[in-house]
């Protein structure tokens, strides 16, 4: 009879664990995982790094073998602070993988190991109030490494959400394409949002506007089944690159003070010490259905670039759903090039079911 045991490891175990955990993924993806861990530690969030290790001992073996592991970064256990934004309820699975050759393990051991890690991980996260888990990995292909990652995603209860292309362009080299002649009514005015003590003024109105821009979206539509606009906006605010001065409502330029907003723009700002130059990240841009059409995409991008420049950025980065061919055409027209591709999977944690409904 075989025995599967799981336990949470301390941070000291990472140096010995990571080489085996990351051995079958791309160098670029491995570096991303290491960088995320380093930033998490440097920002004082070490207690939010969760390491779950699974060990196995067969009836003929005298010692346990470490056979699989998962590493997650999650917010610390939330504490209510008056005047502060609500606690983030989202976490990120950095990677889950076998530490030994999978094919040498019996099918029953592989199945029971995945169940044991999922149970331990979900319960640990549920106790922290986490309700949403995401996992970014190398884009699926026909390699054995991709097949193993996909099998782990399925075993841990994740659903594929999107394949993303990460694009970049330097403002020194950009050459915006011409836009077609349009009336002043199609031009947009960018109005900064107001903040008070770290809280977004008229948050409900802004979230409602964002919800309207989600209608018929081609960017990760599956996420609409997992996160509300409010939850997504809160996640943006938890980023180290969060910049409240870079959140905007979009209005028709003509007499915009008398009209309702037709869209939103959210940028994040990465300081020069992280990338050599100040970088603006296009986190989200959306237009309500009734205002779409024409050459609005290019007009929007011109506005994004000018706004980012005014905020001191010299480079723009963004992620786009690879299936959103319309947005990709606009970005290609501005000379944006792909620097990374990844697959994103998501999972909802039913906290009440795991901890017991009150």
* Beta strand spans in 103-152 (E): 132-137
Asked if pLDDT for residue 286 goes beyond 80, the answer is: yes
How does residue 277 score in pLDDT terms, banded at 50, 70 and 90? Answer: confident
Asked if pLDDT for residue 177 goes beyond 80, the answer is: no
- Mean pLDDT over 305-309 rounds to 94
Asked if pLDDT for residue 20 goes beyond 70, the answer is: yes
**CA dist., res. 20 & res. 136, Å (int):** 19
Asked if pLDDT for residue 276 goes beyond 80, the answer is: no
In this predicted model, what pLDDT tens digit does every residue of 223-246 receive, in sequence order?
999 999 999 999 999 888 999 999
**CA dist., res. 73 & res. 101, Å (int):** 26
Using an 8 Å Cβ cutoff, are 288 and 263 in contact?
Answer: yes
Q: Which residues are 4's β-sheet partners?
A: 56
- Mean pLDDT over 299-318 rounds to 93
Asked if pLDDT for residue 322 goes beyond 70, the answer is: yes
pLDDT for res 48: 92
- Mean pLDDT over 121-150 rounds to 87
How does residue 141 score in pLDDT terms, banded at 50, 70 and 90? Answer: low
Residue 308: closest CA among 277, 348, 346: 277
- Mean pLDDT over 192-204 rounds to 94
**CA dist., res. 115 & res. 23, Å (int):** 22
Asked if pLDDT for residue 280 goes beyond 50, the answer is: yes
DSSP code of residue 228: -
How many other β-carbons are positioned within 10 Å of the β-carbon of residue 8? 12
Q: Tell me phi and psi for residue 42, to 5 degrees.
A: -60, -30
Tell me the pTM.
0.87
- Mean pLDDT over 182-188 rounds to 56
**CA dist., res. 21 & res. 313, Å (int):** 36
pLDDT for res 274: 58
- Residue span(s) of the chain under CATH 3.40.630.30 come to 168-341
**CA dist., res. 300 & res. 295, Å (int):** 9
pLDDT above 70 as % of the chain: 87
**CA dist., res. 310 & res. 190, Å (int):** 12
Asked if pLDDT for residue 358 goes beyond 50, the answer is: no
Q: Does the 3-157 domain belong in CATH 3.40.630?
A: yes
Question: Which residues, other chains included, contact 202 with Cβ-Cβ below 8 Å and sequence gap of 6+?
Answer: 194
SS3 349: coil
pLDDT above 90 as % of the chain: 68
Question: Which residues, other chains included, contact 308 with Cβ-Cβ below 8 Å and sequence gap of 6+?
Answer: 171, 267, 280, 316
CATH class of residue range 168-341: alpha beta
Asked if pLDDT for residue 55 goes beyond 50, the answer is: yes
- Mean pLDDT over 127-136 rounds to 93
Using an 8 Å Cβ cutoff, are 69 and 17 in contact?
Answer: yes
């Amino acid at each position: 009879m075989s025995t599967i045991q799981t336990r949470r490891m301390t941070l000291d175990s990472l140096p010995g664990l990571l080489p085996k955990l990351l051995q079958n993924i791309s160098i670029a993806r491995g570096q991303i995982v290491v960088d995320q861990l380093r930033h998490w530690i440097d920002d004082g969030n070490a207690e939010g790094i969760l390491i779950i290790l699974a060990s196995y001992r067969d009836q003929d073996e005298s010692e346990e073998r470490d056979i699989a592991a998962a590493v997650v970064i999650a917010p610390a256990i939330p504490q209510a602070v008056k005047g502060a934004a609500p606690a983030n309820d989202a976490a990120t699975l950095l990677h889950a993988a076998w530490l030994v050759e999978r094919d040498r393990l019996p099918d029953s051991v592989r199945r029971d190991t995945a169940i044991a890690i999922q149970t331990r991980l979900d319960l640990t996260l549920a106790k922290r109030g986490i309700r949403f888990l995401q996992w970014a990995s190398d884009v699926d292909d026909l390699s054995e490494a991709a097949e193993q990652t996909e099998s782990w995603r399925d075993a841990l209860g994740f659903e594929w959400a999107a394949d993303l292309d990460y694009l970049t362009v330097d403002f020194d080299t950009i050459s915006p394409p011409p836009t077609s002649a349009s009336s002043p009514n199609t031009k947009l005015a960018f109005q900064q949002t107001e903040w008070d003590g770290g809280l977004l003024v008229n948050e409900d109105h802004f979230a409602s506007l964002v919800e309207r821009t989600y209608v018929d979206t081609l960017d990760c539509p599956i996420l609409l089944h997992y996160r509300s606009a409010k939850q997504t906006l809160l996640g943006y605010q938890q980023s180290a690159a969060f910049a409240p001065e870079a959140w905007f409502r979009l209005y028709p330029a003509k007499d915009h003070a008398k009209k309702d907003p037709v869209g939103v723009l959210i940028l994040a700002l990465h300081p020069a010490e992280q990338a050599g130059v100040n970088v603006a990240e296009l986190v989200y841009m959306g237009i309500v259905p009734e205002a779409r059409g024409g050459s609005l995409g290019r007009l929007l991008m011109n506005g994004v670039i000018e706004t980012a420049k005014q905020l001191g950025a010299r480079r723009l980065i963004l992620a786009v759903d690879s299936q959103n061919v319309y947005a990709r055409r606009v970005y290609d027209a501005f000379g944006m090039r792909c620097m990374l591709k990844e697959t994103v999977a998501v999972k909802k944690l039913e906290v009440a079911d795991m901890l017991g409904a009150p």
